[in-house]
Structure 1
Amino acid sequence: MADPAARARELALLFTSWPSVTGTADEAAFPERLHEYLTGFDAARVAAIPDDPFGRSTFFALKRGRSRRTIVLTGHFDTVTTGDYGALQPLALDSGRLAPALIADLRRSGENALALADLEGGDFLPGRGLLDMKAGLAAGLAAMEAYDGEASLLFLAVPDEEERSAGARAAIPQLKQAAATYELDIALVINLDSISDQGDGSTGRIVTYGSIGKQLLCAHVEGKPAHAGYPQDGVNAAYVMAELVRAIELSPRLSEETGQEKAAPPATLFAKDGKQGYNVTTPSSAFAYWNTMQHRQSGADVLLIARELAATAIADAEARTGHRIALHMAADFPKPKLATDHTLSLPDQSRLAFQRIVEENGIKGPAVILGFASIPYPAVMLREGPVRAAISAAVRAHGLAEVNYFAGISDMSFFGEAAGDLAPVAANTPIWGSGFTMPEAGGYPCINIGPWGRDYHTKLERLHAPYAFDTLPRVLLSVIEAVSKVG
């Protein structure tokens, strides 16, 4: 059996050399390449994602132990584009050649002294997707190959984490079917995603017992257009939206704290009126959406708070304009009839869906309609109990810190034990069931243990190699062994 550290390095660099940008033919081909390369498992299969416009698949590999108790090792293999590397783009997937080229660039430009020191020191390796997150997949496979214990291990690699989590959403029913087919009792899902740490690694060498949630809150404003010479005759949709943005942006009511961990407050990602050209008529409509992040708040909680914030904004707008402005929820109306265009982003599909709601229901302005504009990422958390206690002891022995929430949204939201009912979210998301579908919740105990590094999604994406290759496989083996012995 190969040394896990050497194997983790070998696989990480190999997987990085295989291009897999989200939404490309390379991404679609990646699972078959895994299937052809990896051997020695009791079962392995590529499972197609139904109705996927890119023809993508997930990849499963099973190593059966002496019991049905099973730990799943999972992560995504898609990456963001390599276009940001500029002239170095041909080297983006070749860490060995990219490192000296980046060092030369950084020496010449004098920019980013930390990146230069990291790369010159030799402990950090660059490459698109090496950190996010092919080194995590490699460590999981290296640990899986080295493991010889009671538990069964199931490796699961998915596409499309970077855009719509189509891979993880499709993998949930596939995973449940695999568990039934191979008679597996899933005790834990370990997500292998990467952690960003701009310091000494102390905040990167962690286990997270949950993942932060995300809801893309949105609002459509239907105004009452008027000539700009007589603006008081109508209600400017752009102005009403400005009041909504002012009320919601950075609102502490939509920002939670758990101990020392704080969820980011809401941020406006898009706000635009519906005008297509110049004239002196005030905008008749506007659309905006906000990134909101949760620890314990459910979708229903987010809607309730957003409605209260919107009511305050509307009251201010009414006082200034002298017009009454109605406040609706998307769930107040039937879901619109849509011809889904998968070339559009989900928020863009939602913008059109809200316009269709206005048309199909004869809504006259001024009015505001609140809802959601994309896939929900429920917050998940591993409950206190024997499994969490066993994990805690195992990781502390390797010097890892323990954190409640993975700070960036992740596929854990679909595998884990989500808090709150998604029915209110579904009812207030007009493209639910057309733009996307949601699986039944995974409901598995789920944690994240992955590599750490810096600046992913940029050309300076780099992996801390000693931790990823030497420490991480040993940590995973310890956690697997500890969980295999719980009750």
Structure 2
Amino acid sequence: MGKWQTKEQLKNLLCDLVAIPSVTGSQAEIEFPKYVQRQLNTLPYFQQHPDHLELCPTEDGRESVMALVKQTEDVRKTVILVSHFDVVDVEDYGTWKESAFDVDGITNLFYEAKEDLSEELIKEMESSEWLFGRGTMDMKCGLALHMSMIEQATEGVFDGNLLLLTVPDEEVNSVGMRSAVPALLAFAKKYQLEYRAVLNSESMFTRFPGDENKYIYTGTIGKVLPGFLCYGDETHVGEPFLGLNANFMASKITCEMELNTTFCEVVGGEATPPPTNLIQKGLKKDYSVQIPHRAVTLFNLFVLEKKMDDLVHSLLKTAEKVATDIKQTYEIQAKNYVKYEPYTPQSVDVRVLTYQDLLHYAVETHGQPHVEQLEKRILEQKGSDLDERDVTIELVDELSILCKELAPMIVLFFAPPYYPAICSRNHPLIQQVTEEMIQHAKETHHISLQKINYFGGISDLSYVGLQYPIESLQPFVTNMPMWEKGYSVPLQELEQFNIPVINLGSVGKDAHQRTERLDLKYTAEILTELLPTCIHKLLEEV
């Protein structure tokens, strides 16, 4: 019967995978791929072909797992199965956090504590067989299913090759997937592979409260992290009109950007969520009666098909509007105050720059060596006390201090991570397979499977190709201070890779919440038939 083919076997594998607390950045995340490697090594195929199972190092000491099952030497067509094994932390579990990685234990706790749960959740729990625990939905279920498919491939079930790739760090910076792309290209050359498609199995995301629909995705949403460094003018709190408070500037930007639906993008009837703030803070390190004259605010901004020059243009327009609003507010309040203090300044002008503008001015004014020394000093702090966002903010802040004669100013920049939007809705193979899977699900399982162009949860499918030529990304990369200085995306390799994508996963709920859970019944009784059917279709000629 095999190791991972029955419902009980799959559940046991999932429980074993979840039991390893592979929180992003933890020691368990480093150990996890070795466990997967050991499990796959128990299959006779990999004992006979040990070179087909590799640990692929990332740039920071972590590892991905690559496992190739090749039918015969002359078979080239290959489907890549992509998953990630890192998970978010478990602080949200509160007093139950010690049980968060024990699937049976935490599931029993939920079923025994129904009186403390919402009626909606209780009703749902009674409707199917749910497994709770961190990583059950996002996304160790997907990995368990892929290992099951690999086992089937070793038994010659598929008319083509399967390549399993499971990576770390999807939840933070996607170091795993970004490092894996060059390795996938090398694997293709080494074993003469023709990649047909990348199949991800992230669990479905509900689109609205009470959503019971089932989905198949032909792409994944993109994301950028734009920031605005606000540099005002220092003064004593007793003379506020002699300066400009940067916290006030940043708050005006946040009010303008937060939930601003003009940034929503609609493609094929699907809309991106509006931007929302992720970081906002003053950069004054100690308390004093000097106003904070430097502050920063950063936003999560989803994208679908918008080009970078259009996006940068929209963000600059927003900053310019805010600069005008600040000037108007200042002038109104100054006129009101002048009756108390006749020497009150009457006006303030705020300059709007891109990071590229600021960098160019700094180099022209202070010289390239001085700027490079400043960058080197800050970049050396990465990983000790500062993450990629902190380092980016520090780079912009220090450069702004160096060029403070430009203040008051608002500087637009981008921080990591960057997730390109990917969509294969117009690719002939994906179009055909999607239509056939929808029909198959209806006829075989009486399920209405709906096609969605973009998977709404950020995923590693972002790193399998590029929508537009590399040159179109220049407005973005030139305004990301850390680009190729500790953070980058392998653009050349992505342009070369460019494989169509599809996502078919299980039913899960509440990713990144303490009620994260997986519908085991759907997974073991339906998806275990849909997934191999989808692989068969991806390997067929169009």
TM-score calculated relative to the size of structure 1: 0.93
Paired residue for 1:134, among 117, 132, 140? 140
* Structure 2 unmatched runs, 5+: 331-346, 361-371, 442-446
Give the 3-state SS of the residue equivalent to 1:131 in structure 2: helix
Give the 3-state SS of the residue equivalent to 2:419 in structure 1: coil
What letter corresponds to residue 94 of structure 1 in structure 2?
D
Answering whether residue 411 of structure 2 is matched by residue 366 of structure 1, we say no
**Match in the other structure for 1:328:** 353
Answering whether residue 488 of structure 2 is matched by residue 437 of structure 1, we say yes
**Match in the other structure for 1:422:** 473
Give the 3-state SS of the residue equivalent to 2:113 in structure 1: helix
Separation of aligned partners in 1, 2:235 and 2:106: 58
Pick closer, same or farther for the CA change 1:138–1:201 going to 2, 3 Å.
farther
Separation of aligned partners in 2, 1:325 and 1:134: 49
**Match in the other structure for 1:451:** 506
> 1:180 deviation in Å?
1.1
**Match in the other structure for 2:335:** none
Paired residue for 1:179, among 188, 191, 194? 188
Q: Deviation string for 1:1-26 (max 9, x for gaps)?
A: 43734343332222112221111111
* Identical counterparts, % of pairs: 28
**Match in the other structure for 1:95:** 103
**Match in the other structure for 1:33:** 35
Separation of aligned partners in 1, 2:77 and 2:263: 39
Give the 3-state SS of the residue equivalent to 2:300 in structure 1: strand
Q: Deviation string for 1:176-233 (max 9, x for gaps)?
A: 1111111111110011112233767643x21111111111010101111122333222
Q: Which moved more, 1:439-448 or 1:308-317?
A: 439-448
What letter corresponds to residue 379 of structure 2 in structure 1?
A
> 1:120 deviation in Å?
4.5
What letter corresponds to residue 473 of structure 1 in structure 2?
T
Q: Which moved more, 1:131-140 or 1:408-417?
A: 408-417
Trace 1:367-382 onto structure 2 (pairs within 5 A).
Answer: 367-382=409-424
Contact 1:390-1:483 within 8 A present in 2 as well: no
Contact 2:55-2:63 within 8 A present in 1 as well: yes
Q: Deviation string for 1:460-480 (max 9, x for gaps)?
A: 211011222222232221121
Separation of aligned partners in 1, 2:88 and 2:427: 37
Trace 1:290-309 onto structure 2 (pairs within 5 A).
Answer: 290-309=299-318
What letter corresponds to residue 427 of structure 2 in structure 1?
G
Separation of aligned partners in 1, 2:512 and 2:193: 36
**Match in the other structure for 2:391:** 349
What letter corresponds to residue 18 of structure 2 in structure 1?
T
**Match in the other structure for 1:69:** 77
> 1:270 deviation in Å?
1.9
Give the 3-state SS of the residue equivalent to 2:417 in structure 1: coil
Pick closer, same or farther for the CA change 1:150–1:273 going to 2, 3 Å.
same
Pick closer, same or farther for the CA change 1:459–1:354 going to 2, 3 Å.
same
Separation of aligned partners in 2, 1:10 and 1:273: 49
Separation of aligned partners in 2, 1:293 and 1:481: 33
Separation of aligned partners in 1, 2:466 and 2:397: 35
Paired residue for 1:106, among 76, 94, 114? 114
Separation of aligned partners in 2, 1:414 and 1:62: 20
Pick closer, same or farther for the CA change 1:375–1:199 going to 2, 3 Å.
closer
> 1:261 deviation in Å?
1.7
Contact 1:382-1:417 within 8 A present in 2 as well: no
**Match in the other structure for 1:4:** 5
Q: Which moved more, 1:90-99 or 1:150-159?
A: 90-99
**Match in the other structure for 1:146:** 152
Pick closer, same or farther for the CA change 1:251–1:86 going to 2, 3 Å.
closer
Separation of aligned partners in 1, 2:26 and 2:281: 30
Paired residue for 2:517, among 425, 443, 462? 462
Separation of aligned partners in 2, 1:103 and 1:392: 37
* RMSD of Structure 2 on Structure 1 (CA): 2.1
Answering whether residue 239 of structure 2 is matched by residue 230 of structure 1, we say yes
Separation of aligned partners in 1, 2:211 and 2:140: 19
Answering whether residue 433 of structure 2 is matched by residue 408 of structure 1, we say no
Larger-Rg structure: 2
Pick closer, same or farther for the CA change 1:225–1:84 going to 2, 3 Å.
same
Separation of aligned partners in 2, 1:89 and 1:375: 28
Give the 3-state SS of the residue equivalent to 1:238 in structure 2: helix
Contact 2:279-2:297 within 8 A present in 1 as well: yes
**Match in the other structure for 1:158:** 167
Contact 2:425-2:431 within 8 A present in 1 as well: no
> 1:306 deviation in Å?
0.4
Give the 3-state SS of the residue equivalent to 1:229 in structure 2: coil
What letter corresponds to residue 244 of structure 1 in structure 2?
I
Contact 2:219-2:422 within 8 A present in 1 as well: yes
> 1:267 deviation in Å?
1.0
Give the 3-state SS of the residue equivalent to 1:80 in structure 2: coil
Contact 1:215-1:299 within 8 A present in 2 as well: no
Pick closer, same or farther for the CA change 1:380–1:231 going to 2, 3 Å.
same
Aligned residues: 481
Q: Deviation string for 1:134-184 (max 9, x for gaps)?
A: 111111221232242321110000001111111111111111111111111
Separation of aligned partners in 2, 1:453 and 1:18: 20
> 1:85 deviation in Å?
2.7
Contact 1:218-1:373 within 8 A present in 2 as well: yes
Q: Which moved more, 1:447-456 or 1:86-95?
A: 86-95
Q: Deviation string for 1:343-388 (max 9, x for gaps)?
A: 4232211111111221344543101110112221111111413212
What letter corresponds to residue 379 of structure 1 in structure 2?
A
What letter corresponds to residue 68 of structure 1 in structure 2?
R
Answering whether residue 302 of structure 2 is matched by residue 260 of structure 1, we say no
Answering whether residue 379 of structure 2 is matched by residue 339 of structure 1, we say yes
Answering whether residue 542 of structure 2 is matched by residue 480 of structure 1, we say no
Contact 1:248-1:306 within 8 A present in 2 as well: no
Give the 3-state SS of the residue equivalent to 1:271 in structure 2: strand
Contact 1:210-1:379 within 8 A present in 2 as well: yes
TM-score calculated relative to the size of structure 2: 0.84
Q: Which moved more, 1:140-149 or 1:453-462?
A: 140-149
Pick closer, same or farther for the CA change 1:368–1:24 going to 2, 3 Å.
same
Answering whether residue 134 of structure 2 is matched by residue 85 of structure 1, we say no
Give the 3-state SS of the residue equivalent to 1:376 in structure 2: strand
